[in-house]
Structure 1
Amino acid sequence: MAIFDIHLPKRIARALRLPENNPRNQQLRVLRKLLRKARFTEFGQKYRFDEILLNKHIGKKFQELVPVYNYNTIYNEWWYKTLEGKPDVCWPGKIKYYALSSGTSEASSKYIPITNDLLQGNKTAMIKHLLSLRNYVDIPVKSLGKGWLTLGGSTDLEKGPGYYAGDLSGITAKKSPFWFQPFYKPGRKIAKEKDWNKKLEEIVSKAPEWDIGFIVGVPAWIQMCLEMIIERYKLNNIHELWPNLAFFVHGGVSFEPYKKGFKKLLGKPINYIETYLASEGFIAYQDRQYATGMHLVTNEHIFFEFVPFDQHNFDADGNLLNGHKALMVHEVEEGKDYALLLSTCAGAWRYLLGDTIRFTNKERCEIVITGRTKHFLSLVGEHLSVDNMNKAIELVAEDLNICIPEYTVAGEPYGLFFAHHWYVACDDVVNAEVLRTKIDEKLKMLNDDYRVERTSALKEVFLDVLPEEQFMQFMKLKGKVGGQHKFPRVLKGKMLEDWQKFLVGELV
């Protein structure tokens, strides 16, 4: 395992020595570390971090004194000052990097502060993730020392007045350690390219020169890249060019809708490894070969809180209600959905990320992503989550032996009642009515509320089958190409209006 023989910097090596495996204690240590470092900032002074640190029940005192923020509230009150060059606002020092993020539904870019402390915490979590491969059965050792093809954002960052901004994957690649450079593909020159089509073309041209063991990225864009390589070189599968390809490290969306399409591109099975890396930090990673969830990073650089995602804490539009209850890691239950709050070493405090998760194994702190607080359908109480949708698509694709790499759903009026409208990407031959009926049946099986509402106010389900290229073209028009961008599973508001205009040729 040549890649494990690398001599890591001492501070990283020290960080990899875990204390006792107690998530509650680990999280309280992280909270104390964050509060101590930020106590002299404007934010720390206003919310009395010193007083919190002296309290016996530090977690509860923190929740009592510090309010919950979403992006808009923390930006308008605090982060805008850092873009003006002011230091020591929410985190010590001046913010020199920002991750540009628009999520999957917002139109304008968000500026998420990135600090060296956050990058160091992410890096340590990534190394722990790499070392966890030792737990895999029959691991293809020779693949570990081969190239890592990372399909991320450009490392040629935008220059602002005193800061740089860009995709987090581009910032991470630009500041990656020297010892990783021999493994990193496509290399610094191609990674700087901002034009996504040019970047893909250069990767395809260079592909025969590389010996790739890992591919890393969002499934839709990785699949497109592999298809282009196979077509260019008249291959039967990607393993004819890269025989040592053994790992696909993915994240951002559920992989299940893409799995059948990926199998067609491979000459032999590979290991699929899920990660949860948001612009705000490295949250979780799969550390066991057949785990159903990802291990939460409880001992590094993020303090987590969990708000039960139910009618007591959120309204029908996914907005947090007054009087909500936030839990710490030892207070959660398996099988329930929670919205994530993060406090990080980049100045995010009790920050509502917008993702919902579920604990599959509380003892091991393993979670799955179930959706977004804004990306669910509950027009009449059907409470349809992205997790339900993903599972239904997976089951139907298996039943019909078809590949459905993309889909999205919208709610719409239907007479005096309501309907769901599905838009499904499928390049295989399929009967749209059969597909509509089967998805409806699977959702009734998966979700009791949906089944009940289909007999009352949710009167109809519509479905359009579209070519996958149409989904990709819409993303290009919205400027959401490559990197960490993914198609939203639920469309609402302006994004839905633009999608409907695009389908009738009014948005080009």
Structure 2
Amino acid sequence: MKLLSPAISRLARLRMWRIESWIQNPVAAQREVLQDIVTTAQYTQFGHQHQFSKLFSVRDFKNTVPVSEYEDLKPFIERMMQGEENVLWPTPISWFAKSSGTTSDKSKFIPVSEESMQDGHYKAAKDVLTLYYNNFPSSDLLTGKGLVIGGSHTISQVNETIQFGDLSAVLMQNAPFWSNWIRTPGLNIALMDEWETKIQMLAENTIKDPVTSISGVPTWTLVLFRKILELTGKQSISEVWPQMELYLHGGVSFVPYREQFEQIIGKPINYLEMYNASEGFFAAQDEPDADGMLLFTDHGIFYEFMPIEEYGKQFPHTIGLNKVEIGKNYALIISTNGGLWRYIVGDTVQFTSVNPYRIKVSGRLKHYINAFGEEVIVDNSDRAIAIACEQTGAVVNDYTAAPVYFNHDSTGAHEWLIEFEKDPVGLNDFVYELDTALKNLNSDYEAKRHKNMALRLPFVKPVPKGSFNAWLQQKGKLGGQHKIPRLNNDRKILEEILQSITSK
């Protein structure tokens, strides 16, 4: 099988010229994408309504088509799910990705067209592979198998022609037949929905496979690793899979988990971050040590970037790639070859580079704490948790935080619920390091903490292991891409979790 490596590397290098063309000309690539999707959709109901046939520039497009959230497009999507055609996109759409990027009670159903699969998700996956082989020409990645820890994969039938499921289920169901040769486990296990049984089956059925890569959310990947070590009696994952060389991750920040992965794997491997959502495959690391992920500009998605202060305005101002600034927070707005038009994804991103354009996910539009003007985002909290762990020897499985409001005799604060895998040497030391790190990372937080004028020292409450999963299970959202919202600007979710712990 190792004879394959040089051949695959040569094929990857042949494909690189296509990637380099849109990396070197990203603004032109984006103009072509917009022209293509608007022209293709001009005779749809949405296209007629917004005069797509008369839109010949980015300015025309932005002046004519309003910025939308899911609720704005929901009436169109509901008609599509009943089988009505030519609504948002002209080609028949028989698959919808049930969005799992939120822990709210409402689900989103994102249309997945043939074009968005082939020219978006699958094309991006090939580009990720090409970039990897370009960086590691002697890699043996495809001589073994890739272990995929997908979401909760239940496929549901709306009618005779319309189906929906988690994105990973949709992509696996429609993947070419040969992909089964390089992927493990089989669909009968990968599509299981009950997670305790699924983890057991994943472990039992992949232990003897020649696994060279793993992709999945960090929390569930660690659960699988521990189950595998329990079943095999081995001390590290590298003893089970000596050929393993790559972990692909996304969905949540990897910063708080990296040390745990390095310890449990037991040997150096490559880590690669991807930004693949139900709405599209947006970005991936193009170099192993790159700060940020390369933005994919030629994959059927037109991007706009909305400064955070514009969110909530009736006519928000957005900018294109040629005007973005490094380090500034933007809400991501997309128009796609699946029929999403000027759609607010809900994530916030920061550019780490503009040559090439690289981004990192900094948080969620609605997942932040700004109860006292501190403007703490998830990127701040993830990094602060990682620093506090490093300073106190702690290991954190998960966390959430919310404000403690002013009362008649005290200022505000942040309350943190933290599930420790390994307790800190001293909880007070952990709190001090967390607070200090947040001050160093966020000048607004530091200003509000000055002499406790607006914010006191944070409250940290360790919670029993399994507390967050128990809450997710109560909400019917245990498994896959579902995750605990790290930051909340009110106390609703934090109080629900506390109540869940108390009742248990």
Map of 1:188-203 to 2, 5 A cutoff? 188-203=187-202
Q: Which is worse superposed, 228-237 or 174-183?
A: 174-183
CA 1:465 to 1:17, structure 2 compared with 1: closer, same or farther past 3 Å?
Answer: closer
Match of 1:500 in 2: 498
CA distance in 2, matches of 1:17, 1:379: 43
Match of 2:27 in 1: 24
CA distance in 2, matches of 1:493, 1:343: 34
In the TM superposition, what whole-angstrom CA distance separates every residue of 1:65-99 from its partner, at most 9, and x where no partner exists? 000000111113x2121122110110013321111
CA distance in 1, matches of 2:320, 2:186: 41
SS in 2 for 1:283: strand
Match of 1:232 in 2: 231
Map of 1:316-395 to 2, 5 A cutoff? 320-395=312-387
SS in 1 for 2:421: coil
CA distance in 1, matches of 2:19, 2:149: 31
In the TM superposition, what whole-angstrom CA distance separates every residue of 1:342-383 from its partner, at most 9, and x where no partner exists? 101111000000100011111101111100110111111101
SS in 1 for 2:178: helix
CA distance in 1, matches of 2:384, 2:391: 11
Match of 1:317 in 2: none
Match of 2:423 in 1: 429
CA 1:109 to 1:4, structure 2 compared with 1: closer, same or farther past 3 Å?
Answer: farther
Match of 2:270 in 1: 271
Match of 1:40 in 2: 43
CA distance in 2, matches of 1:438, 1:128: 40
In the TM superposition, what whole-angstrom CA distance separates every residue of 1:426-478 from its partner, at most 9, and x where no partner exists? 12232222211211111111111111112322234211112442222222222
Matched length:
491
Equivalent position to 2:106, from 105, 108, 115: 108
CA distance in 1, matches of 2:164, 2:278: 12
Q: Which is worse superposed, 192-201 or 43-52?
A: 192-201
SS in 1 for 2:352: strand
Share of identical aligned residues, percent?
33
What CA RMSD, in Å, does the superposition of the two structures yield over aligned residues? 2.2
Gap regions ≥5 residues in structure 1: 315-319
Alignment check: 8 A CA contact 2:326 2:351 kept: yes
Match of 2:92 in 1: 94
SS in 2 for 1:173: helix
SS in 1 for 2:422: coil
The reply to whether residue 445 of structure 1 matches residue 444 of structure 2 is no
CA distance in 2, matches of 1:323, 1:480: 34
Map of 1:205-354 to 2, 5 A cutoff? 205-310=204-309, 313-314=310-311, 320-354=312-346
Map of 1:75-94 to 2, 5 A cutoff? 75-76=74-75, 78-94=76-92
Map of 1:412-427 to 2, 5 A cutoff? 412-416=404-408, 417-427=411-421
SS in 2 for 1:504: helix
CA distance in 1, matches of 2:40, 2:21: 20
CA distance in 1, matches of 2:269, 2:412: 43
How many Å apart are 1:504 and its aligned residue? 1.6
Alignment check: 8 A CA contact 1:114 1:346 kept: yes
Gap regions ≥5 residues in structure 2: none
Q: Which is worse superposed, 217-226 or 189-198?
A: 189-198
SS in 1 for 2:141: helix
Alignment check: 8 A CA contact 2:470 2:500 kept: no
Match of 1:457 in 2: 454
Q: Which is worse superposed, 202-211 or 379-388?
A: 202-211
Alignment check: 8 A CA contact 1:149 1:215 kept: yes
Match of 2:396 in 1: 404
In the TM superposition, what whole-angstrom CA distance separates every residue of 1:190-225 from its partner, at most 9, and x where no partner exists? 122222222111111113320100000100001100
Alignment check: 8 A CA contact 1:261 1:405 kept: no
Alignment check: 8 A CA contact 1:135 1:287 kept: no
SS in 2 for 1:170: helix
CA distance in 2, matches of 1:40, 1:179: 36
Match of 1:469 in 2: 466
Aligned amino acid, residue 337 of structure 2 = C
SS in 1 for 2:248: strand
In the TM superposition, what whole-angstrom CA distance separates every residue of 1:119-175 from its partner, at most 9, and x where no partner exists? 1121011101101012325x6622332110000135551111231111101111111
Equivalent position to 1:484, from 464, 481, 486: 481
Aligned amino acid, residue 485 of structure 2 = P
